[in-house]
Amino acid sequence: MEIRRAQPSDRKAVMALVAAVSEGDYIPYCWDDWVDDTATGISLVARLDHRLVGIAHVHFLSKRVAWFQALRVLPTARRMGVGKALSQACLDYSARAGRQVARLLIDIDNHASRSLTAQAGFSMIAEWLRLEKATGPVSAPDIEPPKQEQLPRLVELAQANGVNLWHTDWETYDLDVEALSISLRNGTLHVLADSPTATMLDISYDEEDEEYRAYNPVGEPMAVSQIVQAMESAAYERGLPRIAVLLAADSPHLPTLQQLGFEFAVINTGNGDSMIDGVTIWEYT
């Protein structure tokens, strides 16, 4: 098996692979930028018997952390070690580039990927469960982006609440001023206008699911309740039918969200079984 940096000329085979794996994948929207970007990461392709059989992408979130994503193996080439080899190549590349931590996200019900990731030496560091709610007209306080100079106070707030990861732009950063600045630049970081350091929420719009989504609010229950209601109000005004919040399994904000009418999203896992939807975060150090 050959694993190498992806080239623009691989595009057609990569798109065919992605289409063969699943419908509606996000990778076609990012791939060209990833291949062009040789400064903050790498896209890899795996080839076997002159066929492109797998892809993976590494993005450096900081000097410390590398984020792995987009691991895909052609259905006809599975269980032949391609995923394992690509994961190892991502780890080798990140280590050579001086990153101390590799981190990635796996859907809670993706047993194949969880098993591969555990076998590669990663540990699960977080499990975030999905709560959702149909939107309605709610009265809520104003929200706005914080000022850059308020970010250190927001980092302190998170630390005081024991929250040390920040999920924005589909990636999970160490929660620090740099990560919040990325949220701020993306226009997704929000605080209460009249109490800007009481809570914060990264509110992203998911085009495919037509919803506003946020991860792990921090702060006192009252402030969290207000900012989540403001998120609902904004979603309702935009005509979005639903909002979702992903919460750490042991989050103290679960009762707050349930009082607001949020319910766990349940997914069918086949054979009549079901489980709470969510994501898991894994780290290799």
Ligand X SMILES: CC(C)(COP(=O)(O)OP(=O)(O)OC[C@H]1O[C@@H](n2cnc3c(N)ncnc32)[C@H](O)[C@@H]1OP(=O)(O)O)[C@@H](O)C(=O)NCCC(=O)NCCS
Q: Which residues contact ligand X by CB under 6 A?
A: 21, 71-73, 78-84, 106, 110-113, 115-116, 119
The two three-digit tokens of residue 20, written as one number: 């063969």
- 38 Cβ neighbours under 8 A, 6+ residues apart: none
CB-nearer residue toward ligand X: 4 or 238:
4
Q: Which is nearer to ligand X, 15 or 21 (CB)?
A: 21
The rounded distance, in Å, linking the Cα atoms of 209 and 144 is 24
Shorter beta-carbon distance to ligand X: residue 67 or 173: 67
State the nearest-atom distance from the C-beta of 120 to ligand X, in Å: 8
- Nearest distance from C-beta of residue 176 to ligand X, angstroms: 25
Shortest spacing between CB 202 and ligand X, in angstroms: 21
Cβ at position 30, least distance to ligand X in Å? 14
Name which of 77 and 223 has its Cβ closer to ligand X.
77
71 or 247: whose CB is closer to ligand X?
Answer: 71
* Shortest separation between residue 90's beta carbon and ligand X, angstroms: 12
CB of 70 to ligand X, least distance (A): 8
Instruction: Count how many Cα atoms sit within 13 Å of the Cα of residue 188 in the half-sphere of its side chain.
Output: 20
Question: How open is the CA angle 104-106-108, to the nearest 5 degrees?
Answer: 145
- Calculate the alpha carbon distances from 108 to 128, 170, 194 in Å: 9, 15, 37
CA nearest neighbour of 102 among 159, 70, 59? 59
What's the first-to-final CA gap in the chain, in angstroms? Answer: 26
Q: What angle do CA 148, 246, 191 make, to 5 degrees?
A: 25
Helix 111-119 crosses helix 82-96 at what angle (to 10 degrees)?
Answer: 50
* Residue with smallest beta-carbon separation from ligand X: 83
Contact at 8 Å (CB) between 233 and 138? yes
Distances in Å between the Cα of 16 and the Cα atoms of 51, 52, 74, 269 are 11, 9, 9, 27
Nearer to ligand X, 104 or 131 (CB): 104
User: Nearest approach, Cβ of 267 to ligand X (angstroms)?
Assistant: 15
Q: How far apart are CA 55 and CA 14, in angstroms?
A: 8
